[in-house]
Amino acid sequence: SQTIHQWPATLVQPVGSPLSLECTVEGTSNPNLYWYRQAAGRGLQLLFYSVGIGQISSEVPQNLSASRPQDRQFILSSKKLLLSDSGFYLCAWSLKGPPLHFGNGTRLTVT
């Protein structure tokens, strides 16, 4: 069966520090991978998606970037965090169509 792992579960980082959130999927090949953010009082917003290794599509201009160095690994990064980057970050995967399967998320607080 397929599983998705996200880490860390919680993270507190100062403004201006770098960020690296990692997501891996097991039990499947060539999945579509997604990063969503859930800000307080707002719905989930798609940040990035990837349909294959090295293929990244950005949905909104922002302070973040994503990379997919391996088939089942998706990384969300920032060189310098902003206060507005705080939120709940969710990684998800699908097999070229629904349904979408989510990880347990990372709660990021930028102080």
Instruction: Summarize as ranges the residues that interact with other proteins (CB under 8 A).
Output: 6, 32, 34, 41-46, 49, 51, 59, 90, 92, 94, 96-105, 107
Exposure string (b/e) for 77-94, b if CB count within 10 Å is 16 or more? ebeebeeebbbebbbbbe
Rounded Cα distance between 60 and 95, Å, is: 23
If the CB atoms of residues 9 and 15 are measured against other proteins, the closer one turns out to be: 9
Smallest distance, Å, CB 88 to other proteins? 8
Smallest distance, Å, CB 76 to other proteins? 15
Smallest distance, Å, CB 94 to other proteins? 5
Q: Where are any strands of DSSP class E within the chain?
A: 3-7, 10-13, 19-26, 32-38, 44-52, 55-58, 65-70, 73-78, 87-94, 101-102, 106-110
If the CB atoms of residues 16 and 99 are measured against other proteins, the closer one turns out to be: 99
If the CB atoms of residues 17 and 30 are measured against other proteins, the closer one turns out to be: 30
Smallest distance, Å, CB 79 to other proteins? 26
If the CB atoms of residues 81 and 103 are measured against other proteins, the closer one turns out to be: 103
In degrees, rounded to 5, the angle at the alpha carbon of residue 103 between the alpha carbons of residues 74 and 68 is 5
